[in-house]
Each structure stands twice: as C-alpha cells, then as structure tokens.
Amino acid sequence: MKLNPIKLDGVWTEGYALDYFTENSEYVGEDIFGYPEFNVTYSEIGKSLNELKYHKDYTKAVEISEEVVKFIVEEWKLKDKIDGIISVPPSKFRFIQPMFQVTKLVGEKLNKPISLDFFSKLTPEEIKNLPVEKKLDLFKNSIRKNRSLTKKGSILLIDDLYSTGVTLKTLCELLKEDSNVENIYVLVVAKSSKED
C-alpha cells in the first residue's frame, strides 16, 4: 500500500498520520431525501479505514494493522521506544469497535501490551461539529482516565482519524498527570483533510 506519512505536531513527543483520509471530495447534488452527495476519492489507507468503520468490513483491520506495524518498525523506528499501546476511546458505541481490532493486532505484532480501556467516554454525545474552543471544554469533562501505569514507560496512542487534534491533546494532558508516563507518541491512521 502506498502511504504518504504526515508529521503531526502537538503536545506529544512525536506523532504521525499515515496519509490523508480522502484525496478529493466533490459535491454532486442531493439524494432523494435532500442529503448532500459527494463523489469521494480516498487515499489507499483511507479507503480501507472507510470500509472498516462505515461498512463493517473487519478484514480491513488486518490490512490497516499491517501498515501501522510496517510504518512503526521500518520508517519510524519506534518499536524499541514504546512500552505499551493505548487505543483512543471511540466516539460512538459499536458492538465491535474497529480501532480496538486494529490496536489488538498491532500489539500482537509488536509484542507490546495494550489497553483498550485506559480511557473511557463519560457521555455518548458527538462533539465533532462544535467549534474547537467548545470541544476542549466539553471533551475535558467527557473523558475519564481509568488507569495509571504501574511502572515507568513510554506510550503509543493509536487513533483512526485526526481532525483538530483536540482528542489527542486532551488525552496527552491526562497522561502527563501520571508520573510514570515518559514519552507519548501518537499514530493516526488518517488525517481528515488537507485543509485541517
């Protein structure tokens, strides 16, 4: 798979998105119910993520995890710098959480412990469409840190989509309250758009 890694600057030690989610999105009108329709061209990893998250093609979790591991080991050279992997809590309840599947596979392939419940959302409310300043206030009160590290170590946070960075910023601030957390690395499957 062809990837175009994007460096993500933030309150973390170092972070990357593997590529943009979409390459092009063109408005083509409305459907029979008045909803806007778009002709979307996805990046390769974006197409896999779209099929995993929105079309329940769980085989794509294997494909995405292989690309994540390949990037971590061969390009980022991060494997020996991390001691554990945390999955970012999902914004929606699903019986099968797509990114939990990816995180489990990455942990297995890198032989690193993972936590799927290090953080949890307190409310199911979607905050994606709010202005950034309102997101920060709401988000800080909607996430709970459920665990602490039992010994010193560096963490890799894995997320599916990067838009404003509010989620990752908040999680990093919560992690930094833990005296055992050393470095925090961030890996996101895709960045939402080139405009962000």
Q: What SS3 string covers 31-48?
A: CCCCCEEEEEEECHHHHH
Note whether residue 196 is domain-resident: no
Reference 148, options 111, 187, 117; nearest CA is 117
Q: Which of 3-17, 20-34, 114-128, 176-190 has the lowest mean pLDDT?
A: 114-128
Note whether residue 107 is domain-resident: yes
Note whether residue 111 is domain-resident: yes
Q: What pLDDT shows up at residue 140? A: 59
Q: Sorting pLDDT into bands at 50, 70 and 90, what band is 176?
A: very high
Instruction: Please list, residue by residue across 124-153, b when 16 or more beta carbons sit within 10 angstroms of its beta carbon and e when fewer do.
Output: eeebeebeeeebbeebeebbeeeeebeeeb
Q: Which of the 8 DSSP states describes residue 118?
A: S
Helix (H) or strand (E) holding 98: helix 98-110
**CA 127/CA 135 separation, integer angstroms:** 6
Q: Sorting pLDDT into bands at 50, 70 and 90, what band is 196?
A: very low
Q: Average pLDDT, whole number, for the chain?
A: 89
Largest CA distance in the chain: 57
Q: Which two tokens stand for residue 45?
A: 């990893």
Note whether residue 1 is domain-resident: no
Q: State the total domains in the chain.
A: 1
Note whether residue 44 is domain-resident: yes
Token pair 């909803």: residue: 35
Reference 41, options 193, 195, 196; nearest CA is 193
Give the percent of the chain with pLDDT over 90: 72
Count of all residues that appear for the chain in the document = 196
pLDDT at 182 over 90: yes
Q: Average pLDDT of 173-196?
A: 89
**CA 159/CA 163 separation, integer angstroms:** 11
Note whether residue 144 is domain-resident: yes
Q: What pLDDT shows up at residue 91? A: 75
Which domain range does residue 160 map to? 6-191
For 43-70, write each residue's pLDDT tens digit.
999 999 999 998 999 999 999 999 999 9
Note whether residue 53 is domain-resident: yes
pLDDT at 124 over 50: no
Q: Which of the 8 DSSP states describes residue 115?
A: E
Give the CATH number, domain containing residue 181.
3.40.50
Q: What pLDDT shows up at residue 166? A: 86
Note whether residue 175 is domain-resident: yes
